Amino acid sequence: MAGVKLDPIDRKILAELQEDGRMTNVDLSKRVGISAPPCLRRVRALEENGFITGYHADINARALGFEVMVFAMVGLDKQSGKDLADFETRCAEWPLVRECHMLNGEIDFLLKCVAPDLSSFQDFLTDELTAAPNVSSVKTSLVIRGAKSLPGVPFDVLEERWPSIR
Nearest CA to 97 among 110, 79, 81?
110
At 48-86, the pLDDT tens digits run 999 999 999 999 999 999 999 999 999 999 999 999 999
- The Cα 154–Cα 5 span in angstroms is 18
Per-residue confidence (pLDDT) for residue 2, from 0 to 100: 55
- Domains along the chain? 1-57 (1.10.10.10), 62-142 (3.30.70.920)
Lowest mean pLDDT among 57-61, 94-98, 130-134: 57-61
What are the backbone dihedrals phi and psi of residue 74, each rounded to the nearest 5 degrees, phi first? -110, 130
- Let me know how long the chain is: 166
Q: Give the mean pLDDT of 23-36.
A: 97
Query: Is the pLDDT reported for residue 165 higher than 90?
Result: no
Q: Which residue has the higher pLDDT, 23 or 159?
A: 23
